A and B are shown apart, each in its own frame.
Chain A
């Protein structure tokens, strides 16, 4: 039996039935890593020894007949912007190349509590800024479905590791699509939970009002399992919600009677070459209809300003967040300085990559004297209008269906030099973060041999609706 090819929930069932051990599960994944990681480069750090120790502890627990957590024995990849005590956390930046966190993020503590096995830290776009994982200081991650194209980003390493069977499930972070888009590109499932559902404590903030820790799995049940293991109210995160936590059945999920909204604005938001992807999507909508879902077109008139709004708000928050990296307390420090000001400036200039600098600059500009009202405040008001559009839609619809990305995973070096084109690919995912909603990307088919994902969006704290709809869809397609 090739354990690493199983779904995470299957591994867990076999573990509970004592058909396989935690150590065997881990070894099977380590073998995959040994054979494919050289090509994929999903990881920045693989933590073999500690993973092996934890797996043994889980096996001992089983031997003693103790109760096990929901993530028991599952090898898990963590995006390398999630703090792990005593294990290097780089944010894929030269700035934090040697940073060893003195504490665990809450999601990491939750994984340990639930008997999960942290196998390593995965690659990302530098500080989670990008859509291809090409801005990483640690090299490109390849897409396991086709090594010539990007895995998406910014959580490209976490998506690729799950798609390549290097880990069973993984965590990423999603500020504007950074979990859903790589899930779509790698042909797996990715969840962006409601803002406040998963603790952000110990996750390097990119944009505090938009960031949320997301989950990857090879099917809907796996991604749901990962979410179950890490969600819950956290007093250490001031934006954590008391409504946090998920616990619902999947088995009886059905598409019958599900009220689905299709935003008409997405018909006009075209990008070149999206025809074939739209065809797959149209067929998917027909399938939902055949299964008894009720499809209605709705208008969310402010969706067409979501990208601009997102880039102003997110970069404003990026510029303030990354100001903590000053070369003093942690992070890279230049050798070229004579004054304190030069220490700051040269450390930051030498250690940040081009995209990080561009976004810091954009945010600084948007917040600078004379422009703040025109850019930042204006964007916050448009955000209100976008949120209102969604609130209205969810008054009489269960979920919204759309593409996850209007483009296919693209070849390396093809888009990165055109920032505006790269940003435009985020058109379906960013509004979800602006409105704090939950959404999931799951495979709906292929175009030219490459996976394409569908996005199911739900209202805040309606994870049960999107995940159950996704599960029901997945069952029909199988």
Chain B
């Protein structure tokens, strides 16, 4: 059984906040989902390797070279606030 405290803890790691009036229902549904996935515990996976990627080809690296990807203007176009050509956020160091 997952508790409200655990839900709040996970939410804080995920940078989410579950409102006080939603926490009960959220915990209930979350618990349903998490107990549903517990079933895989019964599978015997002794000596089985995990599959992180499915393709049998090795990945590849790009050639290291100079190329223009995006302009500064393009990079900044979707942010809320800019200053001197940078993203503007809160001052985090005094």
CB neighbours (8 Å) of A140 from chain B are none
A112 within 8 A of B: no
Which of A326, A361, A377 contacts B7 (CB under 8 A)? Answer: A361
**Contact yes or no, A329 B78, CB < 8 A:** yes
In the complex, identify which listed stretch (A122-130, A175-183, A342-350, A395-403) lies at the interface while the others stay far away. Answer: A342-350
CA distance A102 to B77 in the complex (A): 8
Which of A196, A343, A360, A387 contacts B14 (CB under 8 A)? Answer: A360
Closest to A378 in B: B40
CA distance A434 to B51 in the complex (A): 9
Which of A352, A358, A379, A460 contacts B33 (CB under 8 A)? Answer: A358
In the complex, identify which listed stretch (A213-221, A236-244, A269-277, A279-287) lies at the interface while the others stay far away. Answer: A236-244
CB neighbours (8 Å) of A302 from chain B are 43
Per-position contact with B for A366-382: 1 when CB-CB < 8 Å, else 0? 10100000110111111
**Contact yes or no, B90 A419, CB < 8 A:** no
Q: Is the interface of A mostly helix, strand, loop or mixed?
A: helix
**Contact yes or no, A99 B59, CB < 8 A:** no
CB neighbours (8 Å) of B37 from chain A are 308, 311-312, 366, 375
**Contact yes or no, A420 B14, CB < 8 A:** no
Which of A103, A360, A379, A384 contacts B16 (CB under 8 A)? Answer: A360
CB neighbours (8 Å) of B52 from chain A are 209, 380
A383 within 8 A of B: yes
B18 to chain A, nearest CB (A): 8
A-B contact count (CB 8 A): 150
**Contact yes or no, A420 B32, CB < 8 A:** yes
CB neighbours (8 Å) of B26 from chain A are 358
Q: Is the interface of B mostly helix, strand, loop or mixed?
A: loop
- Which size bracket describes the interface of B in this complex? 35 or more
Answer whether A239 and B45 are a contact pair too, CB < 8 Å, given A328-B79, A360-B14, A362-B30. Answer: no
CB neighbours (8 Å) of B79 from chain A are 328-330
Which of B17, B32, B41, B54 contacts A419 (CB under 8 A)? Answer: B32
Which of B36, B41, B62, B74 contacts A102 (CB under 8 A)? Answer: B74
B93 to chain A, nearest CB (A): 11
Find residues 43-94 in chain B having any chain A CB closer than 8 Å to their own CB: 43, 45, 48-55, 57, 59-60, 62, 70, 74-75, 77-80, 87, 89-90, 92
CA distance A241 to B33 in the complex (A): 35
Which of A99, A241, A345, A365 contacts B10 (CB under 8 A)? Answer: A365
B55 to chain A, nearest CB (A): 5
**Contact yes or no, B55 A195, CB < 8 A:** yes
CA distance A337 to B92 in the complex (A): 13
**Contact yes or no, A365 B34, CB < 8 A:** yes
Find residues 223-249 in chain A having any chain B CB closer than 8 Å to their own CB: 235, 238-239, 241-243
CB neighbours (8 Å) of A329 from chain B are 75, 78-79, 87
Answer whether A340 and B48 are a contact pair too, CB < 8 Å, given A196-B57, A361-B14. Answer: no
Per-position contact with B for A176-205: 1 when CB-CB < 8 Å, else 0? 000000000000000000011000000000
Which of B48, B70, B75, B87 contacts A381 (CB under 8 A)? Answer: B48
CA distance A379 to B17 in the complex (A): 27
CB neighbours (8 Å) of A383 from chain B are 50-51
CA distance A344 to B11 in the complex (A): 12
The residue in B49, B57, B92 that gathers the most chain A C-beta atoms within 10 A of its C-beta is: B57
**Contact yes or no, A239 B53, CB < 8 A:** yes
A29 within 8 A of B: no
**Contact yes or no, A419 B29, CB < 8 A:** yes
**Contact yes or no, A381 B45, CB < 8 A:** yes
Closest to A327 in B: B80
CB neighbours (8 Å) of B30 from chain A are 358, 361-362
A70 within 8 A of B: no
CA distance A311 to B40 in the complex (A): 11
**Contact yes or no, A343 B89, CB < 8 A:** yes
B13 within 8 A of A: yes
Closest to B48 in A: A381
A94 within 8 A of B: no
Given A196-B55, A308-B39, 10 additional A-B pairs, CB 8 A: A102-B75, A239-B59, A242-B57, A305-B40, A366-B37, A375-B37, A381-B45, A383-B51, A384-B51, A420-B33
In the A-B complex, list the 10 residue pairs whose CB atoms are closest, starting with the nearest: A436-B54, A380-B50, A330-B78, A102-B74, A381-B45, A364-B14, A381-B48, A308-B37, A333-B80, A383-B51
Q: Which residues of A contact B (CB under 8 A)?
A: 98-100, 102-103, 195-196, 209, 235, 238-239, 241-243, 302, 305, 308-309, 311-312, 319, 323, 326-331, 333, 337, 339-341, 343-346, 348-349, 352, 357-358, 360-362, 364-366, 368, 374-375, 377-385, 387, 419-420, 423, 434-436, 460
Residue pairs across A and B with Cβ atoms less than 8 A apart, 29 shown, are A195-B55, A209-B52, A302-B43, A305-B39, A308-B37, A311-B37, A312-B40, A328-B79, A337-B90, A343-B89, A344-B15, A346-B17, A349-B16, A358-B33, A361-B10, A364-B10, A364-B13, A364-B14, A375-B37, A377-B50, A378-B41, A378-B45, A379-B40, A380-B52, A382-B43, A384-B50, A385-B43, A385-B48, A387-B54
